Every structure is written in C-alpha cells, then in structure tokens.
Amino acid sequence: MFSRSPMARKRKSPTTPRHLPASAEREQKAQGQKNTGNPSVASVQQQEETPEPRVSADTKAKRMRLFGRRTQEDVSSHKAKSNAIAVFFASVNNIGMGKNAHIFVQSAATMLEAGLPLIETLKIFQMETRGRSMRKIIQQMIEEVENGTPFWQAMENRRLFSPYDIAMVHIGEEAGNLARNMTYLAEQKEKDRQLKQKVKMAMIYPTVVLVMMFIVIMGLGLFVLPNLVQVLFALNAELPITTKIVIWISQMFSLHGKVFVPLLLVFFALFFLLMKFTPLRVVGQWMVFHIPGVGKLAREATIARFGVILGGLLQAGVPFVVALESLVEVTPTVAYKKFYAKLLEHVRVGDSFSKGFEELKQSRKLLPVSVQQLVVTGERSGSLAESLLKVASIYEKRASETAQVLPVILEPMLLLIIGGLVAFIALAIIVPIYSVVGNVGNA
C-alpha cells in the first residue's frame, strides 16, 4: 500500500550519495555542468578515469558533426551527392575570389569582436561588398543562417573556404567562441597572405628576365635569323649541327611564325594548367622543389603551414585525428599530402608521432629532424599545439628571409641560362663564317 511506484523510484538519482552535504552536492553539479559545456575537456577526463569509455553511436556521430566531420555514412552520401564534376565547376566559379574570402574573414572577425550579431555582420558586409559574385554568396549565407543553418555549414556550402577555415569557425560556433576563433583565423590568413606576397615579390625579377628572354628569342627568330640564314646558305659550306638547328628554328618562324607563336603561347598556358589542376602537378611540384632557392622557399613555407594548421586546430580544441584529417585535405603539395595521409593512418591505430616518423622513410626528406624532435617533445609533454605553433613561427621567419634573398640566389642561374643561349646562337652563326673565311685565306 505504501510501496513506491516505479516512477517515484525512477525520479531518485542513483549517482548522488545521501551523506553528501548540500555544498558538496552543488559543487559536484557545477563540475558536471562545466565538463558538459566543454566536450573536449569532458572526453579527456573520461579517458583518464576509465580506460575504455562506453560511447554510443549517436554520441560519436554528434562529436564528429561537432568538429566539422561526418560519419562514414554521411561521407559516402556526400560523395554521391556532390561528385568531382560539381566540385570542379564550383572551384572554377570561385577562381579569383580568394582575396574576397580573406577580406570577409577579416571584416567578420572585426565586427563579431565588437559585439555585432552574426546576421547583422553578414548584412553589413554585403552592403559594403562591390563584387556581384561575392554579394550573391553572402546573400545565400544570410538566407541559410536565417533559416537555422549553422554558420559553418553555410560557409561550407559555398565551396569558397578551406576545410581549415570551416573547422575553425565550426568549433568556435559550437563552443560559443566564434568571435575569438574568427579573429585567430583572420590573423593566420593575414600571415599567409604576407608570406605569399613576399614570394610573389621575390619571383618578379626572374619572371621579368625570362619573359624578356622569350621576347628576344621571338624577335631574333622573326627578324634577324632569316637574313643570316640566307648568308649561310650562300657560303655553300658544310654547316655544323648548331647552325642547322638555328636554321631550322629560323625557317619555322619565317614560314609559320603567325601560327607558331600563338600555338607556343597556348602550349605554355596548357602546360601551366595541367601542372596545376591535373595529376601531372606532381611533376611540376617536383620541379619547383628542386629549383635552387625556390625549392628551399617552398619547403619552408609548407612546413610553416603544417605548424599553423595543425597547431591552430589543436589549440582551438579540435580532436587530434580530425585536425590531421583537415591538414590532409588543405595541403596542395602531393608529396606532403601523401605523407600526412600515411601519418594519419598510424595515428588512427594508436601510434605516436615518433613511431610514425620512424616507420615512414620519407619523413626526414619532408620534415627536418629538428621539426620532428619538436613535435615529438610536444606530444610527450602534452603541449603539442604550442610546439606546432612554435615550428610555424620559426619557419615563417625562415621563409620570409629566404624570399628576401631569393633574387640574389636566382640571378647567377638566370645569367648562366641567358649567356648559354646567346653563346649558342653566336657560335652557330660565327663558326661557319670563320670557316669559309679561313678556307678562302688558305686558297
């Protein structure tokens, strides 16, 4: 008659001991709420307390979505939904929009840091944007956010921002630190822009020299060599192989110059596109990494990017495996992309960084031993994010210094190339003339 009903027994909390005082009980509840508010902290504490925590499939899926990643079923459906052709055309539509994306991140970070709501921030940026394409993108983002779509999802749907950008915004939005993460992202993108600008400035001199050399060769082939070839034919002498090559080039320019020159320009343009957007980019990247000076700069910039991306994501609270996946996705260099993917496989099975570095033969070619030691030390001491950001800072400075001295490194090489070309043409023309003059003198 006086027994408790099942509902009454269910209401009683089995986890709260009866002998705890009220203050201790409140402290326990506050600690539980604190851990619940920070998923990464809660997961770390759970791993320390229990060696094999029981996590349901729903919880795993929620965590994966929290940090900007999908479950395997979501990934397969996403691949079926957005195929490679759609991604390609979306990328083509966004060509030249990188500067606008950078300005958007900077402006949004400033306005969010000032306390403006997200919708108002997007609307203000849309009014200030002049480009029609960017205004359309912002309008689509506004509509999706107003309809309840998360901000990071609206950014991802535009295919304008990198997975690193989306992951930083995602973790900031879910943790309530969107303004702080956007500010950090804006700072990193500004550093990246400055480094790219220094590289472009360093490449201006060799590019101008090569273009002028190409123009001079075209001028010689169209206007100078045809007259000299007639003189060489009139000598009726045995011509060396260098002279025959020059004569063949001259005839190509004189007979088919109007077609040959445009075709040559189209060939160089296609070669550049193939080296950038097709599997042949492996060859182009290999060539870049083996050019004196340029290869050193490319390697230092890639290592700096490794530290910035992985360290920034870990510092923001992104799980290690997910951060490494983002690094694989945003890395454009094929050799480093494959290396990071193999390193990710080792990490997924529970290996440490040190073991992964030892088992991957190409690790020392891509990451210097000093960088590996910094990363391994940070991993063992529990300060991996700080160590990676330190690596980024060191190699950003090195890349900046290399970019400043790059023209000095390339100048002798360019002079050798130009001098060799001029010497080849001069010998091809002068040698048969001196040969004929010598025969006449002997006669």
Question: Tens-digit pLDDT profile for the chain (443 aa)?
Answer: 334 443 333 343 443 333 344 444 444 444 444 444 443 333 334 433 433 334 344 444 444 444 444 433 343 344 444 444 544 445 545 555 678 888 999 999 999 999 999 999 999 999 988 888 889 999 999 999 999 999 999 998 888 888 888 888 988 888 888 998 899 888 888 888 887 787 778 778 778 888 888 788 777 777 777 777 777 777 676 778 888 887 787 777 777 767 877 888 888 888 888 777 777 788 888 888 888 888 898 899 899 989 988 998 888 888 888 889 888 888 888 899 999 999 999 989 988 888 888 888 888 889 999 999 999 999 999 899 999 999 999 998 998 888 888 888 888 888 888 888 888 888 887 877 777 776 665 65
Alpha carbon distance 61, 79 (integer Å):
18
Q: In 10 A of CB 424, how many CB atoms?
A: 13
Alpha carbon distance 133, 97 (integer Å):
9
Alpha carbon distance 219, 225 (integer Å):
9
Between the CA of residue 74 and those of 51, 64, 194, what are the distances in Å?
29, 10, 37
Alpha carbon distance 435, 238 (integer Å):
9
Q: In 10 A of CB 285, how many CB atoms?
A: 18
Q: What is the maximum alpha-carbon separation in the chain?
A: 141
Alpha carbon distance 106, 121 (integer Å):
12
Alpha helices in 114-240 (DSSP H): 118-128, 132-146, 151-158, 163-175, 178-219, 225-234
Between the CA of residue 419 and those of 412, 414, 424, 426, 434, what are the distances in Å?
10, 8, 9, 10, 21
Between the CA of residue 369 and those of 71, 88, 278, 286, what are the distances in Å?
35, 37, 32, 21
Q: Is the dihedral of CA 117, 118, 124, 125 positive or negative?
A: positive
- Return the residue matching tokens 């609206």: 154
Does an H or E element contain 271, and which? helix 241-277
With a CB cutoff of 8 Å and minimum separation 6, the contacts of 432 are: 232, 235, 237, 239, 240, 243
Between the CA of residue 2 and those of 5, 8, 11, 387, what are the distances in Å?
9, 12, 17, 64
Q: Are 274 and 369 in contact (CB under 8 A)?
A: no
CA 426, 427, 432: angle at the middle one, nearest 5? Answer: 115
Q: Are 347 and 364 in contact (CB under 8 A)?
A: no
pTM: 0.66
Alpha carbon distance 439, 443 (integer Å):
6
Q: Are 245 and 217 in contact (CB under 8 A)?
A: no
- pLDDT value of residue 306: 92
